[in-house]
Amino acid sequence: MSTERLPLIASLQTRWQLGKKQTEFLVAVVAILPLALFVLYPLWTILRESVLRPDGRWSLDYYARYMQDSHFRETLFNTLNVSIWATLATTAIAFGYAYALRRTKVPGKMLWHSVMLLPLFAPSLIQALGVQFILGRNGIVNRYLGTDIDIYGFWGILLANVLYGLPHAYLVLSVSLGAADARLYEAAKLLGAGGFKRFLSVTLPTARYGVLSAIFLGFAINISEFGNPMVLGGDYNVLATEIYNQVAGQANFHLGAVIGVLLLFPVLLSVAAEKWIGRRQATISSQATPYRPVRNWRIDGPMLLFLGTVALAIVAVVGVVVVASFTKLWPYNLGFTLKHYALDVPGGYGALWVSLKMSLATAVIGMVVATFAAMVVHKLSSRLRQVLYLLSVVPAAVPGMVLGLGYVLAFNNPSLPVYWLYGTVALLSLCTVYHYHAQAFLIATTGLKQVDSRLQEASHTLGGGALHTARHVTLPLIRPAMASIGMFYFMHSMVTISALIFLVSPEVTPAAVSILLLNDAGNWPQAAAFATIIMFTIAAVVLGIKALAHGAALLHKRQNHS
């Protein structure tokens, strides 16, 4: 090679590197802009509304006024009180449930696992409806046992929140307990440690990060839960319902924004702590040897009884809602009827159609947005990677009601070019997409980490560009993760309430929100009917998609063999 050509080659390499950096920058900006518009901007409008006085000056007067109010102090105490107790109870029960399935030989593990996940297929307030039908003033217990149980207030919220939070804590603890190192148990046994001693010295220490992660996750869920306190709260005010009362009841957006900011901080700290603990747990579990339990009926027997008790409570609360939807007048006339499914209310089944459109749009948009963000983070080498990653996980720390209020303040502005979105199904879908963006993003990131980098390198070596490699190598390999994201989004958008409660209108009201409105109007039989419809709709869609995926896999396998 002549020396005259060396400067030309160096110049071309420099230009190629500059072009690559410019491309990376543009791609990163494309991924960051939607997060800035649909996450950061709504949060900024809440913060601005909480400190902006009518005369245009910035001040903390609204915070000072609210914090000096005895009603606020009582509401804050109530929120922390019920959230802490619900978190501790949820973690303890979920730990026992996960321990029984991971560390014992109880029969029917798949059945017990499925029962625990049942609440995920229903709106969060179905637990509140179930508790109300069983223990409420007109519940079956008071009706037939002659008791006078008053479930409205602290105990009602506590019970409903525990039932709602159990699946979330169980999934975290199940992973933690399933990552046990069998060598530690063998060593403890050789040293003469009995079963209880091994539990104290091995099980609890190795599961501590999972327990702490479940505690922080549970606290974040409980402190921001809206549906259960709305139905069972009575005079027991919490921050989530206080935001709703201030904004929807009194149109006091300033104080609503103040409460939103105050609610944001404990959730943000809890989620940050949960993520940090989750990384520590992953470091430990990656080197563990799988633990295989042995039959011991002295332990398996009590654990089986415990599983049955918890599962009965879950099935009873969900099942009573289904049964009540088919009875003439619960609990006074238990005769069978279908009249509650007529839904003779404004909109009728239109709310279900709104939910289906919104959920399908959310599934598609969310799958594309989360996968694209994860792929960009996976490929970027600049500092923008850290910025995009941080923005992608921030929504996990934003309560649904806070994000929904931010959307009202941000997009209900005729001067904005995106004002046309306000009051449409599209805005409901976008709010849901970014409310659950962090979880979907992490699912996509996990899927990308499982792709062998040598396959992508081979594609580049053979002349395939970035787009060609993404289309023909990366995307086909992460299809299972993308399908999981779509399913995740569909299920959550069908049942979410808190993020959408401020964005609904008479023309655009999702089915989950309609349940709350029906119950508030005293039409709880039709609320039960609508909740039942949502549960069976989600189950039908999930089973249908799984059947299609199974059929496609079998067809692909046959084609490969032929």
pLDDT at 79: 94
For 52, phi and psi rounded to 5 degrees? Answer: -95, 120
Residue scoring higher pLDDT (57 or 358)? 358
Tell me the pLDDT tens digit for each residue of 10-51: 454 454 454 566 777 788 888 999 999 999 999 999 999 988
pLDDT greater than 80 at residue 526:
yes
CA torsion through residues 72, 48, 250, 261, sign: negative
The three-point CA angle 164-166-169 to 5° equals 125
The crossing angle, in degrees rounded to 10, of helices 154-178 and 109-116 is 140
**Domain spans of the chain?**
23-59+343-562, 69-339
pLDDT at 205: 66
Task: Report pLDDT digits (tens) over 231-290.
Answer: 999 889 999 999 988 888 888 888 888 888 888 888 878 777 767 766 665 554 445 566
Integer Rg of the chain from CA? 26
3-state secondary structure of 100: helix
The DSSP element (H or E) to which 518 belongs, if any, is helix 511-520
Residue 133 binned pLDDT confidence (cut-offs 50, 70, 90): very high
How many of the other CB atoms lie within 10 Å of CB of 301? 12
- Mean pLDDT over 502-527 rounds to 86
Query: What's the confidence (pLDDT) of residue 113?
Result: 93
Task: Mark out the alpha helices in 346-478 (DSSP H runs).
Answer: 350-379, 384-393, 400-411, 425-435, 437-449, 453-461, 466-469, 475-477
Q: Which two tokens stand for residue 134?
A: 């069983």
From CA 482, how far away is CA 367, in angstroms rounded?
6
Amino acid at 336: F
Highest mean pLDDT among 189-193, 243-247, 308-312, 551-555: 308-312
List the CATH code of the domain at 69-339. 1.10.3720.10
Q: Evaluate if residue 136 carries a pLDDT over 70.
A: yes
Taking only the tens place, the pLDDT of each residue in 375-417 is: 888 877 667 788 888 888 888 888 888 999 999 999 988 888 8
The rounded percent of the chain whose pLDDT value lies above 90 is 30
Which pLDDT band, with edges at 50, 70 and 90, does 201 fall under?
low
Q: Kindly tell me if the per-residue pLDDT of 84 is higher than 70.
A: yes
User: pTM, whole model, 2 decimals?
Assistant: 0.84
Among the residue ranges 206-210, 298-302, 362-366, the one predicted with the least confidence is: 206-210
CA atoms within 13 A on the CB side of 86: 31
pLDDT at 7: 55
CA gap 133, 154 in Å, rounded: 17
Chosen CATH of 23-59+343-562 out of 1.10.3720.10, 3.40.190.10, 3.40.50.620, 3.40.50.300? 1.10.3720.10
Of the pLDDT bands very low, low, confident and very high (cuts 50, 70, 90), residue 102 is confident
Q: Which sign does the torsion angle of CA 64, 65, 68, 73 carry? A: negative
Q: What percent of the chain has pLDDT over 70?
A: 80
pLDDT digits (tens, 9 = 90+) for 445-478: 877 776 656 655 565 565 555 666 666 566 677 7
For 428-448, the pLDDT digits (tens) are: 999 999 999 988 988 888 777
pLDDT in tens, 52-77: 877 778 888 888 888 888 888 899 99
Whole-number pLDDT of residue 83: 94
Question: Same CATH fold, 69-339 and 23-59+343-562?
Answer: yes
Q: State residue 495 phi and psi, 5-degree precision.
A: -115, -10
